[in-house]
Structure 1
Amino acid sequence: MKLKYILIISLFSSTLSAQIQKDSIYQVEQINLLVKKKLLERKADRLIFNVEASVASQGMDAVETLANVPMLKIDENMGSISIAGKSSVSIMINGRILNLSGTGLLNYLKSIRSENILKIEVITTPPSKYEAQGNSGIINIILKKNPNIGFSGNINSGLIQRTYSGFTSNGALNYQTEKFSSSLKLMYYDSAKRTDENYTILGASQNYSNSIRRDMWNELTPTLNLSYKLSKNSEIGMEYTYARQKSGMDIVNTTKNIGSDLKEENLLTNTFHRGKLPTHTLSAYYDVKLDSLGKKLSIAGNFYKNNSDTEVNFSTLQSSDNSVKDVKTISLVSPQIFSAQADLELPFSFGIIETGIKFNQFKNSSDLRYFNLVNGQYIPDNLRANLFQYQEENYAGYISYAKNFGEHWETKAGLRYENTNAKSFTPSSNSGNQYNYGQWFPSVYVSYKEDKNVFSLSYSRRINRPSMGNLNPFRWYQNPYSYSSGNPLLTPAYINNLELGYTFNNKFSASIYYLRMKNAFGQISTIEGLSQIGTYLNYYNNNSLGLNASYTDTFFKFWETTISMTAALQNSTVFNIQAETQKGNSFDYSINNTFTLNKNKTFALFLNYSHSLPYKNVNYYFYAFPELTSGLKFSLMEKKLQINATVTNIFAQRYRGTISFTDSTQRMDNYWDGRSFRLSVNYTFGSGKNKISKKNIKFDEKERVQ
Structure 2
Amino acid sequence: MTSIIKWGGYFIYFSRFKKIKNTLKKITLLLFLNTFVCFVAFAQHTVTGKIIDENNQPLEFVVVTITQNDSTIKEDVAKDGGLFALNLPAGNFNLQVIYFGKIILNQPIAVSTNTNLGELKATVGSLTLGEFVLEDTKNLIERKVDRLVFNVENTVAASGGDALDLLKVTPRVKVENDKIALVGKSGMSVMIDDRIVQLSGEELVNYLKNIPSDNIKSIEVITNPPAKYSAEGNSGLINVQLKKTINDSWSADIRISYQQATYARGSFGGNFNYRKDKLSIYTGVNYSDGSNAYEITKKTHYANFLQKENSYGKNNFNPMFVKIGVEYQISKKISSGFSLNSSKLISSSYPSNTKSNSINNITQLSDSTIKTNSKDKIDNTNTIFNYHFIYNLDTLDRKLSLDIDYFKFNNQANNFFESTTILNKGEVSSGSFASANNIGNQQIENYSVNLDMEHPFKWATFNYGGRITTTQTDNDLAFFDLATGTSILDVNQSNTFEFTENTQAIYFSAQKELTKKWEAKAGLRAENTNTIGKSVTINQANKVQYLQYFPTAYLSYIPNDSNSFSLNYGRRINRPSFFLLNPFRYVYNQYSTYEGNPFLLPSFSHNIELEYMYKDFWISNVYFSKLENGFEQVMLISDSNIIQRTIPINFIENSIIGLNEIITVKPFKRLKTNLSVDVYYSYSASNTNFALNRLSGWNGMFNLSNDFILNKNKTILFNISYFYATKGVSNLDRNNAFDQLDVALKLLFWKEKLKITFAGNDLFSSNRQEYISTTNGIKNSFVNYQDYRTFRITLSYNFGGTPKTNEQRENKNSEELNRTN
> In structure 1, what is the Cα distance between the partners aligned to 2:536 and 2:808?
44
Counterpart contact for 1:453–1:503, Cα < 8 Å? yes
Quote the residue 1:301 is aligned against: 404
Greater Cα offset, 99-108 or 18-27: 18-27
1:563 counterpart residue number: 675
Whether the 8 Å CA contact 1:361–1:391 is kept in 2: the answer is: yes
Secondary structure at the counterpart of residue 328 of structure 1:
strand
CA RMSD, 1 decimal:
2.3
Distance 1:690 1:88 in 2: 29
Deviation at 1:504, TM superposition (A): 0.7
TM score, norm. by length of structure 2: 0.81
The corresponding residue for 1:648 is 761
Please give the alpha-carbon distance, in whole angstroms, between the structure 2 residues aligned to 1:310 and 1:489.
Answer: 24
1:476-495 matches, within 5 Å, as: 476-495=586-605
Distance 1:323 1:573 in 2: 40
Determine whether 1:44 maps to 2:153: no
- Paired letter, 1:507: F
1:575 maps to which residue?
Answer: 687
Choose which of 274, 280, 289 in structure 1 pairs with 2:377.
Answer: 274
2:820 maps to 1:705: yes
User: In the alignment, what sits opposite 1:456?
Assistant: 566
Could you tell me which of 28, 34, 43 is aligned with 2:98? 28
Listed as ranges, the gaps of 5+ residues in structure 2 are 1-50, 63-96, 103-131, 423-428
Contact 2:323 2:341 in 1 (8 A): yes
Residue-by-residue CA offset, 1:546-567 (whole Å, 9 max, x unaligned) = 1111011323221111111111
Aligned to 2:787: 673
Q: Of 525, 545, 549, which aligns to 1:416?
A: 525
Q: TM-score if structure 1 supplies the norm length? A: 0.93
Among 242, 257, 263, the alignment partner of 1:164 is: 263
Using a 3 Å threshold, how does the CA distance of structure 1 residues 621 and 490 change in structure 2: closer, same or farther?
same
- Alpha-carbon deviations, 1:53-98, whole Å to 9, x = none? 343454333233222222222233xx64221111111221111111
Write the deviation string for residues 151-192 of structure 1: whole angstroms up to 9, x where unpaired. Answer: 211111111111111111221011111100000010111132
Report the Cα distance in structure 1 between the residues aligned to 2:537 and 2:361, rounded to whole angstroms: 33
Tell me the residue number matched to 2:274. 175
> Mapping of 1:91-102 within 5 angstroms?
91-102=190-201
* 2:249–2:802 CA contact under 8 A, matched in 1: no
The residue type equivalent to 1:296 in the other structure is K
**Aligned mates of 1:667, 1:297 — CA distance in 2:** 53
Q: Distance in 2 between matches of 1:21 and 1:601?
A: 26
| TM superposition shift of 1:683 | 0.3
Q: Is the 8 A contact 1:156 1:682 kept in 2?
A: yes
**Share of identical aligned residues, percent?**
31
With over 3 angstroms needed to count, the CA separation of the structure-2 counterparts of 1:423 and 1:354, relative to structure 1, is same
For the 8 Å contact 1:145–1:693, the answer to whether it is kept is no
Which amino acid counterpart does residue 120 of structure 1 have in structure 2?
Answer: I
Q: Within 5 Å, which residues of 2 pair with 1:184-583?
A: 184-204=283-303, 206-250=306-350, 251-257=352-358, 264-319=367-422, 320-321=429-430, 324-373=433-482, 375-451=484-560, 452-527=562-637, 529-576=641-688, 577-583=690-696
Distance in 2 of aligned mates of 1:476 and 1:37: 56
**Farther-moved stretch of structure 1 (517-526 vs 682-691):** 682-691
Deviation larger for 251-260 or 429-438:
251-260
Contact 2:190-2:238 at 8 Å conserved across structures: yes
Structure 1, residues 267-292: CA drift from partner, whole Å, max 9, x if none? 21111111110111111111110001
Distance 1:18 1:124, change over 3 A: closer
Cα deviation, residue 35, structure 1: 5.6
Task: Report the Cα distance in structure 1 between the residues aligned to 2:810 and 2:281, rounded to whole angstroms.
Answer: 13
Contact 2:697 2:728 in 1 (8 A): yes
Structure 1 contact 81–88 (Cα < 8 Å) conserved: no
Once the two structures are overlaid, the 10-residue window that deviates more, 106-115 or 432-441, is 106-115
Which of 729, 747, 755 aligns to 1:616? It is 729
* C-alpha separation in 2, matches of 1:49 and 1:477: 49
Q: Say whether residues 1:118 and 2:221 are aligned partners.
A: no
SS in 1 for 2:100: helix
Regions of 4+ moved over 4 Å: 20-27, 32-37, 257-265
Q: How far 1:602 sits from its partner (Å)?
A: 0.8
**One-letter identity of the residue aligned with 2:699:** S
Give the structure, 1 or 2, with the largest relative contact order (CA under 8 Å, sep 6 or more). 1
Is the 1:308–1:332 Cα contact (8 Å) retained in structure 2? Answer: yes
What one-letter code is carried by the residue in structure 2 that aligns with 1:532?
A: Q
Report which stretch shifted further, 516-525 or 251-260: 251-260
Number of equivalent positions: 689
- Flag the 1:75–1:423 CA change in 2: closer, same or farther, 3 A: farther
8 Å contact kept, 1:56–1:560: no
Q: Deviations over 1:10-42 (max 9, x none)?
A: xxxxxx998488699976333368666532211
In 2 relative to 1, CA 72–475 (structure 1 residues): closer, same or farther, beyond 3 Å? farther
Are the equivalent residues in 2 in contact too, given 1:148–1:689 (CA < 8 A)?
A: no
Query: 2:71 corresponds to which residue?
Result: none
CA distance, structure 2, for counterparts of residue 24 and residue 645 of structure 1? 35
Deviations 1:125-155 (A, max 9, x none): 1111111111111111222222232321111
Residue-by-residue CA offset, 1:549-600 (whole Å, 9 max, x unaligned):
1011323221111111111111221123331422221111111110101111
User: Relative to 1, partners in 2 of residues 1:490 and 1:260: Cα closer, same or farther, differing over 3 Å?
Assistant: farther
Question: Does residue 751 of structure 2 align to residue 638 of structure 1?
Answer: yes
Query: Cα distance 1:385–1:692, how it changes in 2: closer, same or farther (>3 A)?
Result: closer
Tell me by how many angstroms 1:374 deviates. 5.2
Distance 1:325 1:690 in 2: 58
Counterpart Cα distance in 1 of 2:509 and 2:258: 47
SS in 2 for 1:639: coil
Aligned residue number for residue 77 of structure 2: none
Take 1:393 and 1:435, find their aligned partners in 2: how far apart are those partners?
11
How far is the alpha carbon of 1:245 from its aligned partner?
A: 1.1
Displacement after TM superposition at 1:338 (Å): 1.4
1:499–1:512 CA contact under 8 A, matched in 2: yes
- Structure-2 change in CA distance of 1:17 and 1:419 (3 Å): closer
Deviations 1:223-257 (A, max 9, x none): 00111001011111111011121111231111235
Which string of whole-angstrom CA distances, capped at 9 and with x for unpartnered residues, describes residues 415-439 of structure 1? Answer: 1101110110111111121110001
Please tell me whether the aligned partners of residues 186 and 222 of structure 1 are also in contact (alpha carbons under 8 angstroms): yes
Moved more, 392-401 or 583-592: 583-592
Could you tell me how far apart the structure 2 residues matched to 1:128 and 1:18 are?
52
Once the 2 structures are TM-superposed, how far is the Cα of residue 646 of structure 1 from its aligned partner? 0.7
